Amino acid sequence: MKKFPRGIRMAAATAAVVALGAGLTACGGDSLEDKGSGSGGSAGGDKKKGSLVVGSASFTESKVLAELYAQLLSDAGYGTSIKTVDSREVYEPALEKGDIDVVPEYAATMAEFLNTKVNGPKASEEKPVASSDVAKTVAELEKLATPRGLTALPAGEAVDQNAFAVSKEYAEKNKLKTLSDLGKSKLKVKIAAGEECEVRPFCAPGLKSKYGIDVTGIDPKGVGTPQSKQAVKNGEDQLVLTTTTDATLENFDLVLLEDDKKLQNADNILPVVNTEDAGAKDIAAALAKLTETLTTEDLVELNRKVDAERVKEADAAKEYLESKGLLK
């Protein structure tokens, strides 16, 4: 915790090999942007407790989560500001250094990021620490975070992880609700995704080995892109790789199939803080109010408001916190 937020001037660290989900939760270069929180920026709160810098990656969901954190901490009496950083390779070292005090994170992705940082670039493939078990994943994250001066606070129900969707028509015609249903159907499917889906264990190989899905090929239109979703809507492809908090599926008449055998790792959302600067109990208590309330469905709606309705992240966050009675 600092009386005055410090600027960050860092070059991007060497990119780590992380799980497929990190493609959406850690992307981009090394630019940084300073902005105030929706509750008054660095002037938020009464500053009697000092100032806190909340880190945010440069995609909608992370920005909304950062606003939620900043407004809760401001409400708890801290001055708050937000630093928007393009990649985890940049903001994680800043978090260790104390230039950033707290970030909203994804349990499995952060655990594997630190795994590769500590144990080498192939560690996440050869000796992964994350799994579909959120409690075990967070425990592994804590083991890796603590020696680096970081504290992983408890994870909540809200989760943003890889997910697969089909068209509503296709699901109804073939009576599909789960990925197991798709495997049992013996239907041949082409997946709209990134090229890496062909080799990543949480994509085509996992669908084949865990669910028995007959994957005939990959249409490299990208992860959750409009082009990928349109291809499935049109019937060119049958399955699209996206995420559990995708707010645009309805626009393409798509539905998620349940990952009923838990192929995906537990990317539940949790705060990670700099232990020295932001390890106080009242900080954990303030953030816990959100962690214990936020659901995956809430995240979908927050993403939709920002991306579809063009509501500002700060305004969407404030409306949500007020609706849940989380602000004084």
Q: What stretch of H or E contains 102?
A: strand 102-106
The whole-number average pLDDT for the span 59-65 is 95
Last residue of a domain, one of 240, 257, 274: 257
Residues 152 and 167 in one domain: no
Chain centroid to CA 51 = 25
Q: Does the pLDDT value for residue 30 go beyond 60?
A: no
Same domain, 279 and 243: no
Closest CA to 153 of 55, 320, 292: 292
Does 18 map to a domain?
no
- Which range is least confidently modeled, 24-33, 85-94, 185-194, 288-297? 24-33
Q: Single out the residue in 202, 236, 257 at which a domain terminates.
A: 257
- pLDDT for position 23: 37
Residue 117 shares a structural domain with residue 243: no
pLDDT at residue 104, rounded to an integer: 98
| CATH code for position 75 | 3.40.190.10
Q: Does any domain span residue 223? A: yes
Question: Is the pLDDT assigned to residue 42 strictly greater than 90?
Answer: no
Give the pLDDT band (50/70/90) at residue 238: very high
Whether residue 14 lies inside any domain: the answer is no
Out of 6-10, 116-120, 212-216, 218-222, least confident range: 6-10
Q: What is the pLDDT of residue 32?
A: 44
Q: How confident is the model at residue 225 (pLDDT cuts 50, 70, 90)?
A: very high
Whether residue 236 sits in one domain with residue 95: no
pLDDT, residue 65, reads 98
Distance CA 265, CA 159 (A): 10
Of the candidates 170, 163, 157, which has an alpha carbon nearest to the alpha carbon of residue 246?
163
Q: What is the CATH number of the domain that holds 181?
A: 3.40.190.120
Q: Are strands 239-243 and 162-167 parallel, antiparallel or unpaired?
A: antiparallel
When mean pLDDT is compared across 26-35, 113-122, 232-241, the lowest value belongs to 26-35
Average pLDDT over the chain reads 88
Give the domain extent around 166. Answer: 162-257
Q: How many domains does the chain have?
A: 2
In angstroms, rounded to a whole number, what is the distance separating the alpha carbons of residues 159 and 327?
23
- Look at residue 292 and give its three-state secondary structure: coil
Q: Are residues 169 and 194 in the same domain?
A: yes
Q: In 183-304, which ranges are E strands?
A: 188-192, 214-219, 239-243, 254-257, 269-274
Q: Dump pLDDT digits (tens) for 139-196.
A: 999 999 999 999 999 999 999 999 999 999 999 999 999 999 999 999 999 999 999 8
Which residues partner with 152 through β-bridges?
272
The answer to whether residue 56 is domain-embedded is yes
Same domain, 154 and 271: yes
Lowest mean pLDDT, pick from 2-11, 34-43, 140-149: 2-11
**Does residue 40 lie within any of the structural domains?**
no
Residue 68: in which H helix or E strand, if any? helix 60-75
Q: Residue 13 falls within a domain, yes or no? A: no
| pLDDT tens, residue by residue, 102-153 | 999 999 999 999 999 999 999 988 999 999 999 999 999 999 999 999 999 9
In a domain, 96, yes or no: yes
Last residue of a domain, one of 237, 257, 277: 257
CA distances (Å), origin 228, targets 121, 232, 240, 255, 300? 30, 7, 6, 14, 19
Quick check: is 244 in a domain? yes
